Amino acid sequence: MTAAAIAPRPDWTREEIAALFELPLPDLMLRALKVREAKWPEGRIQKSQLLSIKTGGCPEDCGYCSQSAHFKTGLAASKLMEVDAVLAEARQAKANGADRFCMGAAWRSLKDRDLPKVCEMISAVKAEGLETCVTLGMLEEGQAEKLKDAGLDYYNHNLDTSREYYGKVTSTRTYEDRIETLDRARKAGVSLCCGGILGMGESRADRVGLIHELSMITPHPESVTINALVPIAGTPLGKSEPITAVELARAIAVARIVMPASWVRLSAGRENMTEEGQALCLAAGANSIFVGARLLTTANPEANEDEQLLDTLGLEWGPRSDKPVVNA
Cα-Cα-Cα-Cα torsion 37, 40, 45, 50, nearest 10 degrees, comes to -140
Q: Which of 31, 62, 256, 281 is catalytic?
A: 62
Task: Confirm whether 194 is a catalytic residue.
Answer: no
Q: Which of 58, 119, 194, 281 is catalytic?
A: 58
Distance separating alpha carbons of residues 246 and 115, to the nearest angstrom: 41
Distance separating alpha carbons of residues 203 and 201, to the nearest angstrom: 7
Task: Confirm whether 119 is a catalytic residue.
Answer: no
Distance separating alpha carbons of residues 199 and 216, to the nearest angstrom: 23
Distance separating alpha carbons of residues 55 and 80, to the nearest angstrom: 8
Residues 6+ apart with CB under 8 A from 283: 29, 33, 249, 313
Q: Which of 100, 173, 178, 193 is catalytic?
A: 193
Q: Label residue 126 left, alpha or beta by phi (over 0 means left) and psi (-120 to 50 means alpha).
A: alpha
Alpha helix ranges (H) inside the chain: 14-21, 25-39, 83-95, 115-127, 143-150, 163-166, 175-187, 204-215, 245-258, 275-283, 303-313
Task: Confirm whether 31 is a catalytic residue.
Answer: no
**Type of residue at 116:** P
Q: Which of 178, 186, 250, 265 is catalytic?
A: 265
Q: Which of 31, 36, 100, 102 is catalytic?
A: 102
Whether 194 and 159 have beta carbons less than 8 Å apart is answered as yes
Task: Confirm whether 281 is a catalytic residue.
Answer: no
Distance separating alpha carbons of residues 68 and 283, to the nearest angstrom: 34
Task: Confirm whether 184 is a catalytic residue.
Answer: no
Distance separating alpha carbons of residues 207 and 68, to the nearest angstrom: 24
Residue 70's nearest CA partner among 82, 62, 78, 80 is: 62
Alpha helix ranges (H) inside 40-174: 83-95, 115-127, 143-150, 163-166
**Type of residue at 40:** W
Active site residues: 58, 62, 65, 102, 133, 193, 265
